[in-house]
Structure 1
Amino acid sequence: YYNRGLVSYELGDPKGAIADYNTAIKINPNYAQAYGNRGLARSDLGDKQGAIADYNSALKINPNYA
Structure 2
Amino acid sequence: ALPVHVATRDVDAGLLWPLPPFSGLPAVDIFFVTNPRRSLNPAEAVLVAAICELVETTPITERTYP
TM-score (norm 2): 0.28
Higher helix proportion, which one?
1
TM-score (norm 1): 0.28
